[in-house]
Chains A and B, each alone.
Chain A
Amino acid sequence: MSDLLAILANPDFWVAVLRIATPLIFGTLGVLLCERAGVLNLGIEGIMVAGAFTGWLAVYAGAPLWAGVAVAMLAGAVCGLLHAFLTVALALSQHVAGLGITLLATSLSYYGYRVSFPKVNTPPTIQPFAPMEGLGIPVLSAQTPLTLLALLLVPAMAWLLYRTPLGLAIRMVGENPQAAESQGASVLALRTGAIVAGSALMGLAGAFLTLSAFNSFYFNMVNGRGWICVALVVFASWKPGKALLGALLFAFFDALQLRLQQAGDAALPYQLYLMLPYALSILALVLVARRAAYPQALMKPYRKGER
């Protein structure tokens, strides 16, 4: 117990929590936007890898860091465009299209990495974002600008969804696309736009990993974070504020399990600690499942003219 209090009292712990939460915030907001429009985007795991790789590669080739971020978001948007083509234009199964894109984006990224760096054993590094020392706020100063962007994006997303006509149209398309179509809104355009924008955010989540949290790209970097974002969206009841809460909660337990490993005696195998975040995600899903307020048209393919 005193171990636990010592961990919580250490400001480095909270710095780690914010750092771990940042890609989760971006990814969860991205999935949230897609699902609010009625589309489950299972390509997130692959898009995060693609964003991580392309952003890092751009910076390695000499581009400034923010240009690398833009490249990563562009890569995410392109993957999102493909996903939208398959699921919205062609109304294919969203599960299969998403999983196919995850596989495609991941394997393309790994292939590109191997072609670009055939003989390296340790991944080449870049100069990542620097912490925002000048801010002066205790835990936030140790973070990079991308974390600040993530935190600002949460109220921005809420404002977009709840206070703008575009947000209303997106939500309408996710609840009842037939009604939206009859009002003159183009379901195709709105869903495609939401998926492309959401996927750009997922690419940004990946870019954070290579350009801020770490300074190089390596295999298995994303390690299931994309799937956790999908779980977090359900936990967040598709609301941006709760998404932030969910991401912070998850990051809290992820940071905690690592420090508990170091603090605790070696009685429990370390793998048990590593399981904790995944098990908690499943638990969170089960707990909120009963009250889940799904966007009504989620995962239902929409074919114009069909009932």
Chain B
Amino acid sequence: MRLEKRQAVSPWALVLAPFGAIVFTLAVSSLLVLWAGAPVAPTWGHLVRGGFGSLFAWTETLTRATPLILTGLAAAVAFKARLFNIGAEGQLYAGALAAVAVGGLHGGEGFAAPDALLFALAMGAAALAGALLLLGPALMKAKLGVDEVVTTLLLNFIVLLGVSALLDGVMKDPSAMGWPQSVALKGALELSKLVEGARLHTGLPAACALSVLLWAVLKTTTFGFDVRAQGANARAAAFAGVPPIRTVVGVALLSGALAGLAGAVEVAGRTGYVTLDMSPGYGYSGIVIAMLAGLHPLGVVAAAVFVAGVLVGADTMSRAVNVPTYIADVIVASSLLSVLVATLLAQYRVKWK
């Protein structure tokens, strides 16, 4: 069998492909629900209501979506340049720790500086920490040809161990009764809540603003053009004058910074301090979200809300019905694969010899 590119790709097909894929995913996941012995339709009802059925559900979904938007953007910009940054998880934790180090040490008072400046410094430190973490693997790829997938993945483990060591040692919260959490971020630096009584915070509009900003950068600036060109065809781009090393470094700094900011925003908006279980795989989910969005920065927001809704809905659903929450991960993973297949089939025809 072989693939033949279609002569005329209907734009409708491209738009409907993801929806068709998600329907297929739900059909397959329904088999899993039946395996758990639960009724199919009420289970999906619980999931949808839990993720999107009330104002509170929406605030929970959007709160969960905030770091996912940022890690999704990190993955999107990196993958667009064919720099496969799988290290967003480690960069997130590094950013969170850096933010707390600047904004929370010295007895929770940070450095002696006005709050606004301190906030900017904390966020900047987080972005810098994430950026530097990705710079190593990116340079190793550019100069030595070392595949960045494995190096960024292995760095995740190293970073998480490093965070664990710091949480046991220097960054430990002395007032937390031995519980391994970091010193708290100074209260005045925390992000304010958007809705009374809910966890939704100003990190969400900030993340959305960053997504628009990234879209503008990729679409209108020279750097954005360089990134897209190098991702499409590195040799042609180099021939056309796109500086390969400088572009890779720029992309790495940007992607790592976004992932680091995701950690900082989580600390400043949701938790207030760093713990080892702060991120239930936001870094890895960001990759799936970026792929679901077709690496488009604006699409990342929609995909992040979708994934967050599924995750939050699954939590609610598992309390009502006896279906384990892992079904959310199954739904997200099979959505990814089926969206890829559906989008491909919209563009290529399968010819059996």
Contacts and interface: CB of A to CB of B under 8 A. Distances in A.
A96 interface: yes
Nearest to A101: B337
Given A188-B1, A285-B146, A289-B144, A111 B157 contact: no
A245 B32 CA distance: 42
Interface stretch (A22-30, A143-151, A271-279): A271-279
B332 interface: yes
Nearest to B348: A90
A108 B25 CA distance: 13
Contacts of A169: none
Nearest to B3: A303
A89 interface: yes
B154 A231 contact: yes
Contacts of B9: none
Interface stretch (B122-130, B160-168, B238-246, B297-305): B160-168
A194 B145 CA distance: 25
A247 interface: no
Contact of B3 (A90, A107, A227): A90
A110 interface: yes
Contact of B151 (A224, A285, A292, A304): A285
B145 A289 contact: yes
Contact of A231 (B145, B150, B164, B334): B150
B145 A111 contact: no
B150 A227 contact: yes
A104 B341 contact: no
B259 interface: no
Contacts of A90: 3, 341, 344
A286 B334 CA distance: 34
Given A90-B341, A303-B3, A42 B149 contact: yes
Given A111-B326, A114-B324, A227-B153, A104 B333 contact: yes
A266 to B, nearest CB: 11
A79 B262 CA distance: 33
Given A188-B1, A303-B3, A110 B154 contact: no
Interface string B322-343: 1010110110111011001100
B341 to A, nearest CB: 6
Nearest to A280: B154
A282 interface: yes
Centre residue among B150, B157, B162 by max chain A CB count within 10 A:
B150
Contacts of A95: 84, 149
Nearest to A281: B154
Contacts of A153: none
A103 B158 contact: no
A303 B336 CA distance: 22
Contact of B32 (A42, A96, A111, A234): A111
A97 B4 CA distance: 20
A97 B340 contact: yes
B187 interface: no
Interface string B133-174: 000000010001111011101110110011011001100000
A224 B157 contact: yes
B23 interface: no
Interface string A258-273: 0000000000010110
Contacts of B86: 99
Contact of A92 (B32, B326, B330, B344): B344
Contacts of B165: 269, 271-272
Contacts of B341: 86, 90, 92
B55 interface: no
Interface in A91-146: 91-92, 95-97, 99-101, 103-104, 106-108, 110-112, 114-115, 118
Interface string A67-96: 000000000000000000010011110011
A62 interface: no
Nearest to B331: A107
A234 B149 CA distance: 12
Contacts of B153: 224, 227
Contacts of B332: 103, 107
B35 interface: yes
Interface string A199-234: 000000000000000000000000010011011001
Given A100-B333, A271-B168, 4 more contacts: A115-B35, A269-B169, A281-B154, A286-B140
Interface of A: 42, 86, 89-92, 95-97, 99-101, 103-104, 106-108, 110-112, 114-115, 118, 188, 224, 227-228, 230-231, 234, 269, 271-272, 274-275, 278-279, 281-282, 285-286, 289-290, 292, 303-305
Interface of B: 1-4, 32, 35-36, 84, 86, 140, 144-147, 149-151, 153-155, 157-158, 161-162, 164-165, 168-169, 284, 287-288, 291, 322, 324, 326-327, 329-330, 332-334, 336-337, 340-341, 344
| 5 A-B pairs closest in CB distance | A107-B329, A114-B324, A104-B333, A103-B333, A271-B165
25 contacts: A91-B3, A92-B340, A96-B291, A96-B336, A97-B337, A99-B86, A99-B287, A100-B291, A106-B329, A107-B330, A111-B324, A111-B326, A111-B327, A115-B324, A118-B322, A227-B154, A230-B149, A231-B154, A234-B146, A269-B169, A271-B164, A272-B161, A275-B157, A279-B154, A289-B144
